């Protein structure tokens, strides 16, 4: 009987420890691009901007989970990637990536919020206020003909 009581107490203690275990979370950049090296660097800057915007992950599990961006996070990350591209282009005349040329143009004209909403909208997003969709649509017809929106890579969180 004493052995059974000891076993029950030990199991209860172990279950209590396991239930109260606190994981520290880690963000993971899922970056598996077959793009040319300079373009890969641009996508890495986009993904790093997303991680930076989010800050440390507060909730996670032992299973690595892809985290979709929020609207503001996506606007921030695309804006930073466009800025990085523009800065690199000043130093490297051979840098010419169609997608980033177009993204930089979107950023220059102040339509990044509209661009993200129109081309990259996620089902969970609520339409933000203050979008100039009519103005963007007119501009888009002249400046983004044949545009192919892209995203390479993702962000995940996992318990350590």
- At 135-146, the pLDDT tens digits run 999 999 999 999
Burial of 75 (0-12, 13-18, 19+ CB in 10 A): buried
User: pLDDT class for 34, splitting at 50, 70, 90?
Assistant: confident
Residues in the chain, overall count: 160
Can you give the pLDDT at residue 61?
A: 85
On whether residue 8 sits in a domain, the answer given is no
Q: Which structural domain range is residue 87 located in?
A: 23-144+151-159
Domain membership of residue 51 (yes or no) is yes
Dihedral of CA 58/56/75/100: which sign? negative
Specify which residues 25 forms β-bridges with.
159
pLDDT of residue 152: 94
pLDDT of residue 113: 98
* 12 belongs to a structural domain: no
91 assigned to some structural domain: yes
Residue 14 belongs to a domain: no
42-62 burial string, b = 16+ CB within 10 Å, else e? bbbbbbbbbbebbeebeebee
In a domain, 134, yes or no: yes
Q: Is 5 part of any domain?
A: no
pTM of whole model > 0.85?
Answer: no
- Which strands, in side-by-side order, build the sheet including 154-159? 25-30, 154-159, 65-66
Say how many domains are in the chain.
1
Could you tell me what percent of the chain has a pLDDT over 90? Answer: 71
Express each pLDDT in 60-101 by its tens digit.
888 989 999 999 999 999 999 999 999 999 999 999 999 999
- Note the pLDDT tens digit of each residue in 117-137: 999 999 999 999 999 999 999
Beta strands in 1-153 (DSSP E): 25-30, 65-66
* pLDDT given at position 23: 65
- Residue whose C-alpha is closest to residue 156's, from 23, 22, 26: 26
In a domain, 10, yes or no: no
């Amino acid at each position: 009987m004493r052995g059974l009581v000891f076993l029950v107490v030990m199991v209860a203690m172990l279950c209590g420890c396991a239930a109260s275990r606190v994981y520290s979370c880690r963000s993971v950049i899922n970056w598996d691009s077959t793009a040319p090296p300079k373009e890969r660097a641009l996508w890495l800057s986009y993904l790093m901007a997303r991680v930076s915007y989010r800050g440390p992950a507060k909730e996670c599990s032992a299973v690595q989970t892809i985290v979709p961006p929020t609207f503001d996070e996506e606007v921030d990350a695309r804006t930073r990637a466009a800025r990085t591209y523009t800065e690199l282009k000043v130093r490297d005349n051979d840098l010419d990536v169609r997608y980033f040329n177009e993204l930089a143009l979107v950023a220059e004209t102040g339509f990044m919020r509209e661009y993200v909403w129109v081309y990259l909208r996620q089902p969970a997003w609520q339409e933000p206020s203050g979008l100039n969709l009519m103005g963007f649509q007119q501009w888009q017809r002249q400046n983004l003909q044949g545009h192919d929106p892209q995203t390479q890579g993702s962000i995940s969180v996992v318990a350590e």
